[in-house]
Amino acid sequence: MLTDWIAALEGQSMRKRSFVQWQSLSVGCHRFRGLPDYVAAPEIGYHYISVTLGGPVEVEGILSGGRVSGAVRPGQVIIMAAHQHNVWRWNAPTEEAHIFLDPLLLRRVAEEAGYGQPELLNRCAVDDDYIRPIVLGLMEELDHHDPSARVMAESGAHYLAHQLLRRHCAKTPAPPKPCGLAPAQLRKLDRFVTEQLSQSLGLEDMAAAVGLSPYHFARSFKKATGLTPHGWLTQKRMERARHLLERSSLSILQIAGEVGFESQSHFGHVFRKWSGITPRGLRQASQQ
Query: Is 222 in the same domain as 253?
Result: no
Mean pLDDT, residues 261-282 taken together: 90
Q: Which residues pair with 19 in a beta bridge?
A: 28
* More confidently predicted of 144 and 247: 247
Distances from the Cα of 122 to the Cα of 138, 205, 235, angstroms:
21, 33, 38
In a domain? residue 177: no
Which stretch, 42-46, 53-57, 195-199, 205-209, has highest mean pLDDT?
42-46
DSSP codes of every residue in 45-60: SSEEEEEE-S--EEEE
Mean pLDDT, residues 21-38 taken together: 91
Query: Is 124 in the same domain as 217?
Result: no
Query: Is 23 in the same domain as 162?
Result: yes
Read off the pLDDT of residues 132-189 as tens digits, 9 standing for 90 and up: 999 998 888 777 766 667 777 888 898 899 899 988 998 555 555 556 788 889 999 9
In a domain? residue 24: yes
Query: Is 17 in the same domain as 122?
Result: yes
Query: Is 205 in the same domain as 63?
Result: no
DSSP state of 169: B
Query: Which residue range is the domain that position 262 belongs to?
Result: 238-286
- Find the CATH number of the domain harbouring 108: 2.60.120.280
* Rounded CA Rg of the chain: 21
Q: What pLDDT score does 201 carry?
A: 85
CB 218 within 8 A of CB 229: yes
Least confident of 58-62, 80-84, 134-138, 216-220: 216-220
In a domain? residue 51: yes
Q: Say how far apart CA 16 and CA 8 lie, in whole Å.
A: 20
Q: Which residues pair with 11 in a beta bridge?
A: 32
In a domain? residue 87: yes
In a domain? residue 174: no
